[in-house]
Structure 1
Amino acid sequence: MANVKIDPSWQELLNEEFEKPYFNQLTAFVREAYQTHMVFPPAANIFRAFDSCPADRLKVVIIGQDPYHNVGQANGLCFSVAAGTQFPPSLQNILKEVSDDTGAPYPETGELDRWAEQGVLMLNSVLTVQAHTPTSHAGKGWEEFTDAVVRTIAQRKNHVVYMLWGSYAQRKAAAVDPAENCILTAPHPSPLSAFRGFFGCKHFSRANEYLVSTGQTPIVW
């Protein structure tokens, strides 16, 4: 991860984490992986979720599992794809729910930078993946790092909306105080589970209702 920098607001919050032995081991693993295999997202985008949503703007946290593993998909924001890329099924279902819930038109691009720029941290639990090999970088240290990210947010900031889709994401919020934040849970938006309660969850309008109730600006989904 040499030459990869993270937004200064997050650098300050996570500096201690970057100094821990597990993170040094993770860095060595990731550096070697990029040198010897095709790995996604592009190295410069590993920390893009943080760079696109500085800590002082944070309002909403969406947690994914690991990056898309096919060529040209992963761009550093969970569930998002680069402009011009065909929408993966989970993203199709997310955008369908946005449209059904809020009345927003179904977008032409799956690039979700517009959400991040409004204060949505779009964080995968594992930040890198080998091409065509899902979860290949699981268990290497990323989960410990992203657990620490969520824990740090929970310790320092209240009135945050957490959108947690599927049991994997829901476990991530163990450190979050539900009395001081808004925790929205639903099945994962993948085609295997979206019809079990993701469709109709109305998380996007519910998130905005909570943000307004706590004096914050709603997200234009």
Structure 2
Amino acid sequence: MPRKAHFGRRKLIIQMAPQSWKHLPFFTENLPVIDATLEEDKRDILPPADQRFAALEACAPSQTRVVIMGQDPYPTPGHAHGLSFSVEPEVRPLPRSLNNIFKEMVDDLGGAPLTGDLRGWASQGVLLLNTVLSVPAGEANGHKDLGWQTLAHQVLEEVSKKPTAFVLWGKQAQNLSKHIHPGDHLMIETAHPSPLSARRGFFGSKPFSRINTWLADRGEHPIDWTMQ
């Protein structure tokens, strides 16, 4: 949970590092600067501060089996809650990229979750991490220059110390592959599920069954992708 520090008349929300990730240099070297910048930003910032590290809180490094990289949180109030591509369960209609993810899942597996809340995936070791962890309401990519990317780089370096399945949809996510240590990983790199690109290689890629086959070959339990 975030804590509040008071400096004169200024109230600064300090986002606390998730316990299992706090050793990453980002939390001491970069986060204080981001905190200070966010405090000066008077726009409505999404998601709320206590949800920004939700993806990391749900998956410790040792528990992470799959990483699905996103770009930045949904800029629509009430949608983002700290996990890439995921939305609060009451959100209807689903964001278009998530709707396409579910379409591909139905084609791949025969079913999909009943809502857009993907916390059930996170509970099974799927790290749903955005490259940028905050966004001004209504301004997609509005915090792309804030410095969040350093955290994504360090997380990828950390989890790739052991075999992991990495899902990199679109060029922006694929550019992060240089931060993945070589290893016995599964690398799924296709077009983004956005309506602008999904038909250029995302549809028909069957990422969910490929991940489960890879996990099974390693003697691990598959992911229940339809779990709510």
Q: What TM-score do the two structures reach when normalised by structure 1?
A: 0.91
Counterpart pick for 2:35 among 27, 42, 54: 27
- Give the CA deviation at 1:24: 2.4
Q: Structure 2 CA distance, aligned partners of 1:181 and 1:125?
A: 20
Mark the CA change 1:3 to 1:29 in structure 2 (over 3 Å): closer, same or farther.
closer
For 2:138 and 2:165, the matched residues in 1 are separated by 32
Q: Check the 8 A contact 2:66/2:125 in 1, yes or no.
A: yes
**Which secondary structure does the structure 1 equivalent of 2:67 belong to?**
strand
Q: Quick check: 1:83–1:109 contact (8 Å CA) kept in 2? A: yes
In the alignment, the residues of structure 1 paired with residue 208 and residue 152 of structure 2 have an alpha-carbon distance, to the nearest angstrom, of 23
2:26 is matched by which residue type in structure 1?
Answer: E
CA-CA distance at 1:56 after TM superposition: 2.0
Alignment pair present for 1:168 and 2:175:
no
Structure 1 segment 82-97 matched on structure 2, within 5 A: 82-86=88-92, 87-97=94-104
Instruction: Name 2:18's counterpart in structure 1.
Output: 7
Q: 1:103 to 1:178 in 2, by over 3 A?
A: farther
**Which is richer in helix?**
1
Asked which structure has the greater CA Rg, the reply is 2
Identity of aligned residues (%): 40
Distance in 2 (CA, whole Å) between partners of 1:205 and 1:128 is: 31
Q: CA deviation at 1:110?
A: 0.3
What SS class does the counterpart of residue 173 from structure 1 fall into? helix
Contact residue 165 and residue 189 of structure 1 kept, 8 A:
yes
Structure 2 vs 1, CA of residues 179 and 53 (structure 1 numbering), >3 Å: closer, same or farther?
A: closer
Alignment of 1:42-57 (within 5 A): 42-57=48-63
Deviations along 1:35-67, one digit per CA (max 9) or x if unpaired, are: x21110111100000112222211000000000
Aligned 8 A contact 2:132 2:143 in 1 = yes
Q: Which ranges in structure 2 are unaligned for 5 or more consecutive residues?
A: 3-12
For 1:98, give the aligned amino acid: M
Structure holding more strand per residue: 2
Aligned length, in residue pairs = 213
Per-residue CA deviation, residues 18-46 of structure 1 (Å, 9 max, x unaligned), is 121x432222112333xx21110111100
> In angstroms, what is the RMSD of aligned CA positions?
1.5
Deviation at 1:208, TM superposition (A): 0.8
TM-score under structure 2 normalisation? Answer: 0.88
Give 5+ residue unaligned stretches, structure 1.
none
| C-alpha deviation, 1:178, in angstroms | 4.9
Q: Which residue of 2 aligns with 1:187?
A: 191
Correspondence for 2:224 = 220
